[in-house]
Amino acid sequence: MIDFSKFEEKVGISFKDKGLLTQAFVHRSYINENKDAGLDHNERLEFLGDAVLELITTEHLFSVYKQKPEGELTSYRAALVNAQTLSQVGTNLGINDFLLLSRGEAKDTGRARQYIIANTIEALIGALYLDQGYESAQKFVTSHIFPLIEELIEQKGFVDSKSLFQEKAQEEDGITPSYKVIKESGPDHDKDFVVGVFLNDKKIASGEGSSKQSAEQDAAKNALVKKGWS
C-alpha cells in the first residue's frame, strides 16, 4: 500500500482519520480490480470537495476583488476551479505518485489523467473538510490554489471562450454558433466528450472535455484561434 505519510509531510497536513486520506486517492477503476481491498472510491468525497472549494473560492474573490462585478467574479471562479487549474495544482503537489488506479488507468498519462488528478484534488478538499473542518480546507485552498489567481488574470485564463466566440461570430458573421456532440466515450463515472462548434452547417473547430460544457468551452477556444479572433 502507498505510504501517504510522505504526502502529508509534503503538504504540511496530518490527517486524524487516515482512511479518509486514503479514500481521497482511490479511483473507481482501482476498486473494480481490487474488490477485496476494503476501500471505497473517492467520488462522494469529490462531490463534497467540489462544493467546499466553490464556497471557499467565492468567499475569497468576494472579499479581495471588491470593485469587480458579479460576471467577472464568476469567470475568475470558473477559471480557478476548472479541471485544467486543479490538475496543475495536483501535479505541483505530486498527486500522481499517490493515486490508486487500475493497471489500465495507470498506463494512461494523457488528458484522462489530468481529470483524475483534478478530481482527486476535489476529493482531498472534501476529506480535509470532514477530517478537520472548514478552516483547514480553506487554508489548503489558500496555500495551493489562490496563488494562481493573478497569473490567470494576467494571461486572461478566466475568459469565457464560449461567450466570446458567440459575441465575435454575431459581430463578424451575423451567425449564432451551435454545438454538437461528435463523440462520447468512457464509463458513466469518467466520460469524455468531443464537441464540434458550427457556424450554420460549417464546423469551425472541435474540443474535448469530461463534460459537455467543458468540451464546448474547449471547442470555442479552438475556434477563436482558428478564426483569428483570440
What is the per-residue pLDDT across 18-43, written as a single tens digit (0 to 9) for each?
A: 999 999 999 999 998 888 888 999 99
Q: Is 181 helix (H, G, I), strand (E, B) or coil?
A: strand
From 17, 33, 43, 50, the catalytic residue: 50
Considering the domain delimited by 5-154, tell me its CATH architecture.
Orthogonal Bundle (1.10)
The CATH T-level fold of domain 161-227 is: Double Stranded RNA Binding Domain (3.30.160)
Under DSSP, the state recorded for 27 is -
Judge whether 122 counts as a catalytic residue: yes
CB 222 within 8 A of CB 215: no
* pTM of the entire predicted model: 0.74
CATH 3.30.160.20 domain position(s) in the chain: 161-227
The pLDDT tens digits of the residues spanning 173-225 come to 999 999 999 999 887 667 789 999 999 999 999 999 878 888 898 899 899 99
Residue among 46, 105, 122, 216 flagged as catalytic: 122
Residues of the chain with CATH 1.10.1520.10: 5-154
